[in-house]
Each structure stands twice: as C-alpha cells, then as structure tokens.
Structure 1
Amino acid sequence: MGEHYFAPRPGAASRRRTVDLVLPDLHLRLETDRGVFSPDRVDAGTRILLETVPPPPAEGDLLDLGCGYGPIALTMARRSPQASVYGVDVNERALELARSNAQAAGLDAVRFCPADGIDPGLRFAAIWSNPPIRIGKAALHDLLLAWLPRLAPGGLAHLVVQKHLGSDSLQRWLDAQGFPAERIASRSAYRVLAVSPPTDSPPTERRTESDPA
C-alpha cells in the first residue's frame, strides 16, 4: 500500500495515471496518483458498492465519506443530477484529483473538500462510503459517529467493508450504537451494509440481498 492514503499531505512523488470505472449505466475515466487510495485501479469494494446499492435519492444532499479521487461521489452525481453531492477526505492530493475528475466528467457542481468545509447543519439524504478501515477501529468509529448522525430522517448510509477487515463486527457495533444495520449484499468477501439513522421515520426502500455469501 505504500504511504498511508489517509495522510493529509502525501509525500510520495507524484506519478499520475488514469483508471476506468465502467458500470452498466456509466463510464468514467479518472485520474489517480501515488499517495491516494487504490491508485492503480478502482478498488473492488468501491465497484461492488456501486453495483449493488439502490439508486441515490433524486434530490437532496448526498455525501461520499472518504471520497479519494472521486469514483463514488461522481457516480452519485451522474445518477442523481438534481441532487447536491459532496465528497470529503483528509487527503489533499485526492481532493485535488477528485475536483479535476469532476470537471473532466462535466460534473463540476460536485463539491470536494475537507470535513470542516461542510456546513455542520447539513443533513444528508444518503451517505455512501468505502470507509478507511486501515485508520484503526477507534478512529473509524469516531469517523462514523461524526457523520452517521447527520443522516436526514428516512435517509440511509451504505458502507462496503471486507469480511476479513471486520464487516460483521462493524455491523454489530453499529446496531449497538443505535444505528440499525442490515447486510444487503455479499460478494467476493465484501459486505454492503445499509445503515439507518436512529429515528422512527421510515427509511427509503432497500434492495434485498440477492448474492448471499
């Protein structure tokens, strides 16, 4: 993996390249670089998330948590062009790439910024994330507890996590924290979890798991 992709200012020498994200409904060519998450190809977990989640809400504020160079946020924007899409990351190089990729894809209304660049009063109709598991359990829990409470009533978060990196224990932890979590897909040792806010409001429609482990 080299230098941690969650470093705010990666020290690795720049060596840019392009990767392709090809899904049934879209094709994005994305620029990547050393020092960011999965620079050589779109990560398998990201691809599985984008192939299995229900369509994002057509309107409202949508968030890609840990956006990297932008594949998840840009997919949300392409699928829901009337929504306001945000991507947050600590990695400044990744954010620069994401902005460039958005412009190249004609999706320059997507906003990529550090966490403190988001209005703290904003509530999200959907949060999609391939979360940075390797920051450690305590830091990951802090990250999720900072953002999951910002789901709007009836909103959903969708997270993709490898089984051997703790997807099942994370699901139990989310439930214990009051965020009901349901596995909606399993593929290639990845789990996709749908996480609801702790509210009595009815969630948006979920897709049932069609590819059991």
Structure 2
Amino acid sequence: MTGDHYFTAEPTTAARTREVEFTVADRDYTLASASGVFSAVRLDPGTAVLLRKAELPSPDTAGDLLDLGCGFGPISCVLATTAPAATVWAVDVNERARELTAANAERIGAADRVRVRAPDEVPAQLRFAQLWSNPPIRIGKDELHELLLRWLPRLADDGVAWLVVARHLGGDSLHRWLVEQGWQVERQASQKGYRVLRVTR
C-alpha cells in the first residue's frame, strides 16, 4: 500500500503503463495511461457520461477551454479534436497525469493546441470560454469548494462550465451549493447515477 492518490502531486508508485480505448462522437481514441493517475485502466464512467451528455464544443469554437483535473487527458483530447480552433488548457496537480496528457495530445496531433500545466502555471489573466471537469470529489467537500471557487470565476462572461458528479457522492448538494454561490445551474442530464451540471453566470 502507498499513500498515493490521483491528486498526489508526484506519485511514487511505479508507472505501469497501459492503453485506454473509448469512442466519443463517433471518433475512436486510444490513449496512454498509467498507474498513479485517475481512472488509469478505463475511461471513468462519470467522464463517459459527461462527454456523452454535455454539449461538446462546435468545430468553430475558439478561445481558451479548461480541462480541470485532466488525468491522462481524455477530456482534453476530445475537446482538442472537436474544437480545432480552440486552445485547451489541461490542468492537474499530478505530474504523471500531466506527462500522459502531453503525450496523448501529441498522439492525436494536437500538441500545439493543448497546454498542459500545473494549477499555478496557468496565466492569471486567462478567461475561459468553457470549463470541463469531473472534479475530484474525494479530496473532501471543503477542498472541492475551494477548487471551484478558484476556477469558476475565471469563466468568461458568456462562458459555460460542464461538471459531472455522482449522485451518491453529493451531486445534488453540489448543485445547491453552486446556486447558493450565485451561479446559474441546470441539470443537463442524469445517467447511471451521475449528474451532468451546466453552470453559467
């Protein structure tokens, strides 16, 4: 046993590499993954629901898109594929996750449009047209709220955030909390025990 979690900054477990295959919007993806990152052996079910039920960016979407807690990069790679005119910022505290996302962006031919960064490396002046996240619920409620209070205000005035949260892990209470913070929140979909939330100003 180790103390590593997917939100550990520098995993100490050996990186057992594998490939993860999935399909989104009729496109097949084969991405590299490794132990020590979130959902290392498959596309996480919540992420799959998010990518299936949220409104993917259109091909003419421009500007900066944020993948918050990118893991090995499935959301970043889908966004970069569906919105080739946009810049995707893939943010994660986990160094191994960032390395994998960078490699996967190169694998799909989008290395020039996916900026992989640690949270503190994202330019402070950036505002995001879209924010996408399967947020790290298991870091704890207070830490989760702090994370969202840091990044949601960086949406552009007309920006939209897409979040997916398991109902049994507090999806409905998070919905209520976001409304209490002054955000407009719509439940876009419910599937397989997950809530897909659309958040705007």
| Fold agreement, TM-score > 0.5 | yes
Residue 98 (structure 1) aligned with residue 94 (structure 2): no
Cα distance in 1 for partners of 2:123, 2:110 equals 21
Residue 23 (structure 1) aligned with residue 24 (structure 2): yes
Runs (5+) with no aligned partner, structure 2: none
> Residue 82 of structure 2: which of 79, 84, 89 is its match?
79
Residue 14 (structure 1) aligned with residue 15 (structure 2): yes
Q: Which deviates further from its counterpart, 167-176 or 110-119?
A: 110-119
What residue is the counterpart of 2:53 in the other structure?
Answer: 52
Q: Structure 1 length as normaliser, TM-score?
A: 0.90
Cα distance in 1 for partners of 2:184, 2:25 equals 30
Cα distance in 2 for partners of 1:171, 1:148 equals 14
Cα distance in 2 for partners of 1:123, 1:56 equals 16
CA root-mean-square deviation: 1.2
Cα distance in 1 for partners of 2:172, 2:132 equals 18
What SS does structure 1 have at the residue aligned with 2:46?
helix
Residue 39 (structure 1) aligned with residue 40 (structure 2): yes
Cα distance in 1 for partners of 2:70, 2:55 equals 19
CA contact 2:24–2:78 (8 Å) conserved in 1: no
Residue 180 (structure 1) aligned with residue 184 (structure 2): yes
What residue is the counterpart of 1:107 in the other structure?
Answer: 110
String of CA shifts for 1:130-188, please: whole Å, max 9, x gaps. Answer: 00000000000000000000000111000000000000000000000111111000000
What SS does structure 1 have at the residue aligned with 2:182?
coil
Aligned structure 1 segments of 4 or more residues deviating by more than 6 angstroms: none
What residue is the counterpart of 1:164 in the other structure?
Answer: 168
Cα distance in 1 for partners of 2:92, 2:56 equals 23
Shift of 1:24: 3.0
CA contact 1:131–1:160 (8 Å) conserved in 2: yes
String of CA shifts for 1:108-130, please: whole Å, max 9, x gaps. Answer: 02111101111111000000100
CA contact 1:21–1:71 (8 Å) conserved in 2: no
Residue 132 (structure 1) aligned with residue 136 (structure 2): yes
More strand by share: 2
Cα distance in 2 for partners of 1:196, 1:171 equals 12
What residue is the counterpart of 2:199 in the other structure?
Answer: 195
What residue is the counterpart of 1:200 in the other structure?
Answer: none
Q: Structure 2 length as normaliser, TM-score?
A: 0.95
Shift of 1:193: 0.2
CA contact 1:61–1:86 (8 Å) conserved in 2: yes
Shift of 1:25: 2.8
What SS does structure 2 have at the residue aligned with 1:28?
strand
